[in-house]
Amino acid sequence: MKYSVFELFFLASMLFVFFGCSTEKKQEESSATVSSSPFGKLPNGQEVTAYTMTNTNGVEAKVISYGGIITSLKVPDKDGKLEDVVLGYDTLQGYLDASPYFGAIIGRYGNRIAKGKFTLDSVDYDLAVNNIGNHLHGGLTGFDKVNWNVKEVASEKGVAIELTYQSLDMDEGYPGTLDVTVTYTLGNDNTLEFNYQATTDKKTVVNLTQHSYFNLTGMKDDVLGHELMINADKFIPVDSTLIPTGELRPVAGTPFDFTEFKKVGADIDVENQQLAYGGGFDHCWVLNEDPKEMSLAATAYEPISGRAFDVYTTEPGIQFYSGNFLDGTITGKNDKVYKFRSGFCLETQHFPDSPNQESFPTTILNPGETYQTTTLMKFYVK
């Protein structure tokens, strides 16, 4: 069968359009990437590697093997401009010298344990005391200060890396050899997902979280103008050393009411004993939804940039920390001085001091069980 010149031209055009579109689609699908590069060496000679995850929208998260630290997270503003919205350092040395847990995985136990003591099956355990007479964030060498094994793993959602670490029996005073896996997934819908798993060979306690400090202005201002909603009708009051009293107190009529959007700075300086203890907000909120079901915990929004993110979690609580201990003594990325309240944290977790509080949800992990929790942070523009 013979074709005219016109017909041949038409067929060629159709084939070009078909294969061209197909190629463009494949390029778009494959543009989500993970790359790696050196990020310095630890004093013991171990190499630290940085992993850069980029989704199909150009959103980028950089994670280092040391501490599983998120050193950079670039998300768009209302004009599409990508800026880094987490606090941290340009080099490894900053994290080694003076880091208030910037961007790190926290464990074995996130938050505080009173006087560094707890009891399991009539056996007393003593932990490092490293914060106002209490144990904080896993002790002197918590999971934020170890070099994790990292590898890229497949994800239908976007790109992902898997971090693994084995914490030996009596590490920092905790019983049991704990095998931990944390997976960071950067979805093509601009969701950053944290999936935590752990197993033990001896009865122990576990409470893992992620400790990124956020500033949605891209460090152009402090965080007091950010608007925050926390899906919680109760919070956990603390004593002067920030240990829970055991009460679950209604937020209604207090500065701790974030059930509707409110600026972080709206009530932060009012006269209130709990605010005085924390130097601002540094408390755990009791989430309204049933634990272990993925539900909305909080939403943060910065009106000038338009940046916002929702936090979903299977955890029963969320610690909101308003950067009260940042005091201008830290110079971070791009020579930015981290002044008072220049970053905030939303740490999904079980409640502080749960091993010593029988009425709180348990943090006990037994042999044969798997600890598993998931938190999502979905970034978007309003």
In this structure, what is the dihedral angle of CA atoms 99, 380, 378, 52, given to the nearest 10 degrees?
Answer: -50
> What span, in angstroms and rounded, lies between the C-alpha atoms of 3 and 81?
51
Tokens encoding 9: 């031209």
350 is catalytic: no
Tokens encoding 11: 């067929």
From 135, 137, 211, 283, active-site residue: 211
211 is catalytic: yes
Type of residue found at 116: G
Whether 349 and 319 have beta carbons less than 8 Å apart is answered as yes
From 162, 172, 227, 347, active-site residue: 347
Residue 214: CA atoms inside 13 Å, Cβ hemisphere, count?
Answer: 26
Cα Rg of the chain (Å, integer):
23
Going by DSSP bridges, is the β-strand pair 209-210/204-205 parallel, antiparallel, or unpaired?
A: unpaired
> What span, in angstroms and rounded, lies between the C-alpha atoms of 327 and 342?
9
Whether 285 and 235 have beta carbons less than 8 Å apart is answered as yes
Residue 154 CB neighbour total at 10 angstroms = 6
Residue 126 CB neighbour total at 10 angstroms = 11
Catalytic residue IDs: 211, 347
